[in-house]
Structure 1
Amino acid sequence: MDEIIQVKDQYYIQAASCLADDRTRVLKQGETFAVFDCRGDIQPIGRGEQGLYHEGTRFLSRLEFLIENQRPLLLSSTVNERNELLAVDLTNPDLVLADGNELPRGSLHLFRSKFLWQRHCFERIRICHFGAEPVTLHFRFRFDGDFRDIFEVRGMQRQARGQRLPARTDRDAVKLPYRGRDGVRRQLQICFEPDPIQISGESAELQLSIGPGEERNLYLTFGCLNDAELCRTGCYDVEFGASLRRMEGYRAQHCAISTSKGHFNEWLERSLDDLHMLFTETPQGIYPYAGVPWYSTSFGRDGLLTALQTLWLNPAIARGVLGFLAAHQAAEHCPETDAEPGKILHETRRGEMAALGEIPFGRYYGSVDSTPLFLLLAGAWFRRSGDRDFLQQLWPHLLRALEWIERYGDRDGDGYLEYQRQSADGLVQQGWKDSWDSVFHADGSPARGPIALCEVQGYLYAARRELAGLAEVMGDDELAARQLRAARQLRKNFQRDFWCEELSCYALALDGNKRPCRVAASNAGQCLFTGIATPEQAARLAEKLLSPEFFSGWGIRTLAEGSTRYNPMAYHNGSVWPHDNALIALGLARYGRTRQAMQLFEGLYHLALQVELCRLPELFCGFRRLPGQGPVLYPLACSPQAWAAGAVFQLLQASLGLEIDATSRKIRFRHPVLPPFLDEVWFRNLQVGNARIDLHLARYGEDVGINALHRDGEIGVVVEK
């Protein structure tokens, strides 16, 4: 995803401030997410992204909690381990009460907790009085709802907006309605308990009397409603229990991992809980939304790669992603959205601007790599699951994806997959590095399309091989043979056209004149995990990627230091992306370069120790790691981000050479290694088909011993050393 989405040069993410200094707190559930400040309020400060959002619209744009018209003092603030609850500890400043009495600072403990559930935000404020005298307290909440589309929040100016309707108040609630230009009537409803003593369309005041040693509670519910929907009025504890059961249900589906290293366990747990928070239920199953705040929606590429990262852990994620993308596969040619029959989705958006066509991203297909990744994941998923029934349902979509590749993706018939946008409002660059300036020649001049990216040819190579295997399962031997022939020819031509001897690296891309972009970029590293590289070139590329010009000490940069356009603070031209490094690590391990893969594993592990909540961000700056100094954060990075959260599971897979084949009921470890910071690993409830197994892995010098602790059903464990 790109730092600046160029749609007539209008869409920018403002960078006047950043997450690093705003100290925001994030919650997400389903189509709803919220960004709060560290006190649990919503303020129009920093980048201005704070708010409560639903389906691409910000319903609540301001929230301020006051006691006796003063902001409480912050004691602590965090999102709990499972990401369900924002917990904020506050206390009172020195106060003069309405009756003239004074309340010294620290007399009250105010515990503020919030969670999201079923398009609502539920809040409880528990007040504990540690003073010596009874007091009567006045609490005020100031609020507003601007109903801005998320692209407006990101910086786009609109020529016209919908209509804010007059606020309506009841005894215990206020309703803020808005009629959009898309004809949808959206409404923010705020309910209070106990009843306010004063309420308007801008604020509510509540009064509580509380004695020494007593507790009282305030409850607020914020409903993001469309048309005639009703606000939920359930009890806070009941609704929170339902939210917890959802998270517990996700955990029950996958293998549990624990290790001998407490800090690594924290990274694992936070990554897993971030994924659970980003999961959204669709009619086709689970889909991991890309990231909060800017990308809280379904992205094809992100969902596919996240599913690949977690495939060994839980194949249900991949099934949900494949099912959703099949259901949203392009059926016709539409230049305005870069859609062509058989093409797989880039992203889909809800909200007023998408509905009106003010942005092209309502259902947008400007991604060259989603379609081959769809085929690649389908093959990997079938090996992991062995589910023939779902493969049968998926098969027509796989054939249509192949038809798109051969008819539209390779228009000149040279065997390479290329892109050039059709929509004047679409993305200029349509690979994973989709910043406008991410594909260029060695002198810095932009590459002209159609563009064939190096890593995309690797995806295509792996996709053809995976499709060949699936064709054999489906009984189409002719298709299987044709795909294998095409894959072999692609691999041969790729070495001839992309390898740059002087760089010891594959060219970033071929431009429209088939001139190689002789730029050393991390894209070349992703060619390793797909297997398109020759062993000789893989060895040279591995040395290049771990050299100081690429490897910062935290990870591999997106662009080699010293290159034209190199900037360690650029989104795609010098930064470090955890998901990119995890894919490269998997590729290094594939070619027997496990020790180098471990350098990436160790770098990202130490990064996790340095960042808040052990949560890897979408990306961070590519400055060199220096003793005693932490990483330099990127100011606009999404956090959490799905494929950043999934990176740790792919790194562990790369370390252990882990492969699971449900069709043969085997778990295979190829040349397993544990990184220096891990001595023991336990897998519990690792499912292969209907069977389950618990495993213990332990380091013995340079070796790793693997023992089955419990086995339920037929599962073989093969260790190659």
Structure 2
Amino acid sequence: MTADLPPEPFNAGEPAFTGDVGGTTTLVEGSTFCLSGSTGDIEPGTPHGLFFRDARVVSRWQLRLDGRTPHPLSVSHPEAFAGRFVMRRPPAAGTSDSTLLLVRERLVGDGMRETITVDNLGREATAVRLDLHVDADFADLFAVKEGRAVHGGSDATAAGPELLLRDRRDGSRGVSFTATAEPVVVPGALSWQVVVPAGGRWSTEVVVQPTVGGRAVKPQFDRGERIESSGPARKIRAWRAASTLVTASDPVLTGVLRRTESDLGALLIHDPARDGRPFVAAGAPWFMTLFGRDSLLTAWMALPLDVGLALGTLQTLAETQGTAVDPLTEEEPGRILHELRLGPDSTTVLGGNHYYGTVDATPLFVMLLAECWRWGADEAVIRSLLPAADAALAWVDRYGDRDGDGFVEYRRATDRGLANQGWKDSFDGVNDISGRPAVPSIALCEVQGYVYAAWLARAELAEGFGDEATAARLRERAADLRQRFASAFWLPDRGWYAVALDGRKEQVDALTSNTAHCLWTGIATDEHAAVLIRRLAEPDMDSGHGLRTLASSMGAYNPMSYHNGSVWPHDTAIAVAGLLRYAHLPGAVDLAHRLADGLLDAAASFGGRLPELFCGFSRDDFHPPVPYPTSCSPQAWASASPLLLVRAFLGLEPHVPRRTLSTRPHLPARWGELTLSELRLGNETAQISASGDEAAVTGLSADWTT
């Protein structure tokens, strides 16, 4: 008699992503994530762990079957928050087969639940001993990420059926382990000695519950509850129900879009301190928190799915906007937060748990506010955020432009801060054509584009709310910046914009993907854009899987680096959107098609989920692309990138206050027909069908212009 396998975890219909049996599996839900190996074990001495609010609450989670490690067979996680590890008992000496199947079904969400099932497929009963070894070091996320020594550890108490671990340093954090099927509980382990009859099954359910500030955190699941009834499953269903459905004839694109929807839903955090207001965490495993730049750009890309996410992000960032000057945290009045941390070492990491060392989040905040207004966000909410936008632009003038030359630059305030404060914020992320690092203060080309777009965004809001004088003044500011930018940053003998001006106001002349952001914001003149498009199409920039961050002809090029030759999906998607903004120029659409095709081919090779980045080797040398070893996955703006591709190729520009919806489609041939269903635009709902250069819009009221 053969026992049925335990049921698959909750699956909403999209293809399951099957992990590499030899790799690391990541499960994520809001501010909770779990890293484990192919058997589901969390190995001590590795970056593995169950993390909650930036602290590792489980540092060891090893299941042993009769004292041995089970053999892994498969790993799957059809949802980002649920995983299934299928294993077998190692065969007896002299045999190649095993009759004992072991399945671990895991669910995360403000804690963790694991159901362990043993199936005896043999013809006689078998005795089995299972030992689950557990520990917690309560290490700060940054300490784990950087491989630093962890101090402190935990004190263990076995209280009947429950094992309690508490942070030895101050006791403010803790974790409890409880299980069914009557385990023997001792400090460091839960054990079961069972006999499984022939064709029979045995199972236990283990629950991990964190404690913060001496109070137990309620998990998003109940004991015995089916995964599809759990809090994470309900949340993802609500997210899908409220989101626009995007499908295409191309099965690869459709699969990638389904993974986008799932991953953004899993990275979505509803802040309990702010009435459940939503924002998206930057990415698992290391950035499960609010990031100014990342969360703003992700929200921009996700507007076709849900405007509410963008509004929640703006409101949360407005509440944490800088009000004072603090060199340690780099806070300045009007400055938008770089990142928020909650871990035990957060007050010593980057100067504090609120760190402001970013130069681009502040203008991006203003850009997104106007974009939300165009997409139909509640006008009262938009008006309530105008003071934050004005404070942001005041920061641009008073603190962003450090030397009064009309450009926004950065220089860290102390040696604790980030040396580079644009999106390429690694220590060596900004360099010249020979590879020499730029000398601060540094004025990045793309940041000037963001500031240009921010002036125009605030001007449009002023005009929309009847303040024509302010609108005219801000448009004049934007026009002046565009003219000065063209003069200061353009390299006529090379055909691209300098990546930056350094502290001596000299051009940092490397060819980078940053220049493509200047197309996206529209600061590039047509004359310069026409030359730049031809240059971006050269093989030293186009890897075949996307746009390289740094051309292979540059001195600092390294395809295996973080920012000097790798490919970042969000960066390529922004480049595509920029190219399509200049679709009237020769070669722009063709290059956009090529970059998007390469990116989708890369996504297919990663199981439908675009990682944070991957290596920038040429497609001719490596296909599929080579993964970057510590890339976040899922990662918010990588996950949202396909949505920006969809919007850009549709030429989709709604303006709800003016009741207009324009489309200028240039869809790649491989996409076939693209359909957006239940696209919410204020109080209206539209359906869009497009193919090639044609689009049809239905569902809007008669007074709309399409």
TM-score, reference length from structure 1: 0.90
What whole-Å deviation, never above 9, does each CA across 1:127-171 have from its counterpart, x for those lacking one?
Answer: 22221122332211111111111121123646x944633x11122
Contact 2:264 2:636 in 1 (8 A): yes
Counterpart secondary structure, 1:401: helix
Q: Given that residues 325 and 332 in structure 2 are in contact (C-alpha distance below 8 angstroms), is that contact kept between their aligned partners in structure 1?
A: yes
Instruction: State the partner residue of 1:49.
Output: 47
SS in 2 for 1:352: coil
AA of the residue aligned to 2:595: L
Q: Which amino acid aligns with 1:697?
A: A
- Answer yes or no: is the 8 Å Cα contact 1:690–1:713 preserved in 2: no
User: Could you report, residue by residue, the CA deviation over 1:211-230 in whole angstroms, capped at 9, with x for unpaired residues?
Assistant: 22323221101112124323
Correspondence for 1:478: 469
The match for 1:605 among 596, 600, 612 is: 600
- Residue 299 of structure 2 aligns to a residue in which SS? helix
For residue 232 of structure 2, what is the aligned residue in structure 1? 243
Contact between 2:136 and 2:153, CA under 8 Å: does it hold in 1? Answer: no
CA RMSD of aligned residues (A): 2.1
1:168 lines up with 2:157 in the alignment: yes
Alignment partner, residue 582 of structure 1:
573
The gaps in structure 2 that reach 5 residues or longer are: 1-18
Corresponding residue to 1:319 among 311, 320, 323: 311
Partner residue of 2:686 out of 681, 693, 700: 693
| Aligned counterpart, 1:375 | 366
* Residue identity in the other structure for 2:181: P
Report if aligned partners of 1:337, 1:366 keep a CA contact under 8 Å in 2: yes
Report the equivalent of 1:74.
72
Aligned partner of 2:195 in structure 1 is 209
Match of 1:461 in 2: 452
SS at match of 2:670: coil
Code of the residue aligned with 1:345 in structure 2: it is L
Hey, what does 2:253 align to over in structure 1?
264
How far did residue 112 of structure 1 move?
1.2
Alignment check: 8 A CA contact 1:429 1:435 kept: yes
Q: CA deviation at 1:107?
A: 1.5
Provide the rounded CA distance (Å) in 1 between the counterparts of 2:159 and 2:519: 63
Q: Does 1:59 align with 2:57?
A: yes
Q: Which residue of 2 aligns with 1:192?
A: 179
Relative to structure 1, the CA distance from residue 610 to residue 162 in structure 2 (aligned partners, 3 Å threshold; closer, same or farther) is same
Matched residue, 2:265: 276
Give the partner amino acid of 1:290: A
Q: Does 1:530 align with 2:521?
A: yes
Report deviation, 1:521: 0.9
What are structure 1's unaligned runs of at least 5 residues? 1-18, 97-101
Partner amino acid, structure 2, of 1:187: G
SS at match of 1:302: helix
Residue number among 80, 85, 102 corresponding to 1:83 in the alignment: 80
Please list, as runs of the form range in 1=range in 2, the aligned pairs for 1:542-621 lying within 5 A after superposition: 542-592=533-583, 593-611=588-606, 613-621=607-615
- Mapped to 1, the partners of 2:195 and 2:239 lie a distance apart of 42
Q: In structure 2, do the counterparts of structure 1 residues 232 and 329 end up closer, same or farther at CA, with 3 Å as the change threshold?
A: closer
Structure 1 residue 95: Cα displacement: 4.9
Distance 2:65 2:434 in 1: 60
Alignment partners' CA distance in 2, 1:307 and 1:123: 33
| Partners of 2:281 and 2:617 in 1: CA distance | 29
- One-letter identity of the residue aligned with 1:226: V
Give the conservation status (yes or no) of the 8 Å contact 1:692–1:715. no
SS at structure 2 position matched to 1:542: helix
Matched, 1:304 2:293: no
Structure 1 window deviating more from structure 2 (346-355 vs 102-111): it is 102-111
Change (3 A) 1:632 1:594: same
Give percent identity, aligned residues only: 35
* One-letter amino acid matched to 1:690: N
Offset, 1:186: 1.1
Conserved? CA contact 2:329–2:350, under 8 Å: no
Q: 1:287 aligns with which of 256, 262, 279?
A: 279
Alignment check: 8 A CA contact 1:27 1:34 kept? yes
Partners of 2:525 and 2:171 in 1: CA distance: 56
Question: How far did residue 390 of structure 1 move?
Answer: 0.3
2:700 paired with 1:706? no
Give the alignment partner of residue 678 of structure 1, picking from 666, 671, 678.
671
Which letter maps to 1:185?
A: S
Decide whether the 8 Å contact of 1:665 with 1:689 is kept in 2.
no
What is the aligned partner in structure 1 of residue 98 from structure 2?
Answer: 106
SS in 2 for 1:86: strand
Q: Mean Cα displacement is larger for which, 265-274 or 690-699?
A: 690-699
**CA displacement, residues 433-478 of structure 1 (integer Å, 9 cap, x when unaligned):** 0111122233333222221100000000000000011122333333
Aligned match of 1:445:
436
1:660 to 630, 654, 679: 654
Change (3 A) 1:392 1:315: same
Pick closer, same or farther for the CA change 1:404–1:627 going to 2, 3 Å: closer
Within 5 Å, give how 1:516-527 maps onto structure 2. Answer: 516-527=507-518
> Is residue 688–residue 715 contact of structure 1 (8 Å, CA) maintained in 2?
no
Residues 87 and 271 of structure 1: is their aligned pair in 2 closer, same or farther, counting only changes over 3 Å? same
